[in-house]
């Protein structure tokens, strides 16, 4: 179900760094919806749609702050794959993506790795 941009406090920032090339994707700019979509997928990409995608240099200075009013935090916590229980970004997918999306799109990108 598509949401309105006003539902997400970081939608503008998220759009500026979204690696999705599908302009019609209803998850564009909604990191948490994108993560849940990819985690539930049985087709490529199975997880982390940023993995292997170079991060645009212009996004490296975007704020990594956690929006205090994330409306999806509780739902995100239930699906969060981060293994650090003390991580302040747990449940706030957009802040996690900005923190972990490596410039080269390498293995450390985002915390959407399956738990081992």
Answer whether residue 107 is part of any domain: no
Residues 24-55: tens digit of each pLDDT: 888 888 888 887 777 766 665 555 556 677 88
Which pLDDT does position 116 carry in this prediction?
Answer: 39
Which pLDDT does position 5 carry in this prediction?
Answer: 65
Residues 52-66: tens digit of each pLDDT: 778 888 888 887 778
Residues 71-104: tens digit of each pLDDT: 888 888 887 877 777 888 888 888 888 887 878 8
Q: Using only C-alpha atoms, what is the Rg of the chain?
A: 13
> Any long-range contacts for 26-35 (C-beta under 8 Å, 24+ apart)?
26/2, 29/5, 30/3, 31/93, 31/94, 31/96, 31/97, 32/70, 32/72, 32/75, 32/76, 32/93, 32/94, 33/3, 33/72, 34/93, 35/76, 35/79, 35/93, 35/110, 35/112
Answer whether residue 92 is part of any domain: yes
Number of domains within the chain: 1
Query: In which domain, by residue range, is 23 found?
Result: 5-100
Answer whether residue 111 is part of any domain: no
Answer whether residue 113 is part of any domain: no
Which pLDDT does position 34 carry in this prediction?
Answer: 81
Answer whether residue 114 is part of any domain: no
pLDDT band at 110 (very low <50, low <70, confident <90, very high): low
């Amino acid at each position: 179900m598509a949401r309105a941009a006003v539902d997400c406090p970081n939608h503008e920032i998220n759009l500026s760094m979204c690696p999705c090339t599908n302009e019609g994707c209803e998850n564009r700019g909604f990191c948490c919806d994108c993560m849940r979509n990819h985690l539930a997928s049985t087709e490529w990409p199975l997880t982390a749609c940023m993995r292997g995608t170079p991060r645009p240099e212009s996004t490296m200075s975007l704020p990594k702050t956690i929006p205090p009013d994330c409306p999806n935090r509780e739902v995100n916590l239930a699906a969060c794959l981060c293994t650090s229980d003390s991580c302040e970004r747990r449940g706030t997918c957009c802040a996690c993506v900005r923190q972990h999306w490596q410039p080269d799109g390498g293995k450390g990108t985002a915390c959407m790795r399956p738990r081992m």
